[in-house]
Amino acid sequence: MTEINLRSDKRDDESHLRVLEVDGYHLPPFVKEEHFRSMKTWKARNDDIILSAYPKAGTHWLWEVLSLLVRRKAERIPEKKDTAMIEELTEEKFNSMAAPRVLNTHLDFQYLPKDLFAKRCKIVYILRNPKDIAVSYYNHHKKLLMYEFDGPWDNYFQRFMQGNVDYGSWFDYTLEMERFKEKNPDYPIHVMYYEDMKENSIKEIGKLAKFLEVDVGDELIRNIDNLCQFDKMKQEKNAGENVSAWRDNNPGMYRKGEVGDWKNWFTVAQNEMFDSIYQQKMANTTSNIRFLL
């Protein structure tokens, strides 16, 4: 295992970010290299469901919704998303999970078990305004002690734009997902947007249930939606966090959950720089990112 400290290319940034490096790919420090290298050969099940997203796109929220849908119950489950996060599992834990497995990951598809795709396991993919992701990721990195990060936002913005974070560049991740969809037009993948969930979560949960082919009525969808409102999730899930893992013993996995919080962080110059780079890198994007300016 090789742990390194990533620095941004900005010369006056003295902060570092602790990550695991495997063959040039940067992962969170909790990942074990031996498990990461072996996972391509892990065996899938036909009813596995994969929730895929770049970090801070709403995976905790959506994983909870997915888990309740497949159980057809609006009852809070004791498990946390981390217990079904592929890159955090051993093969033994992966195999011992009860069916149906609602898995989640931030990994590029090339690193995932090949059998998931051979069995055509359903994929739910969620996108979010990358400006909001950048702000949320900054707070994530700063609050979780394992990253050993304590830099200012201004320099972190440069770091994010350069992809000097675990899981790499948001731009590269998103374009790679688009290439997968283009090469596999018939693959069962359901694309969702964080902003759509915030705008009309009942409608989006209904569409998700249809994709999953689970027979749930309108009342259950409303009850699941009510149980998975952000404030309730924040209160209940943060209470179960290991406080010693967080700066000032203050869990922050659920922070604001808002749309447009980036406006409280980005300077005018940063916003202009982001828009310029986005237009260059994402000129041919097929994703319908809603910036909601």
Catalytic residues: 106
User: What is the distance between the alpha carbons of residues 144 and 246, in angstroms, rounded to a whole number?
Assistant: 5
Let me know: does 241 contact 233? Beta carbons within 8 Å.
Answer: no
User: What is the distance between the alpha carbons of residues 117 and 234, in angstroms, rounded to a whole number?
Assistant: 33
Q: Pick the closest to residue 83 from 69, 71, 67 (CA basis).
A: 67
Strand ordering across the sheet containing 49-52: 102-105, 49-52, 122-127, 189-193
Residue 266 CB contacts under 8 Å (≥ 6 apart), including other chains: 131, 135, 157, 274
Q: Tell me the helix, strand and coil percentages in the chain, rounded to 5.
A: 50, 10, 40
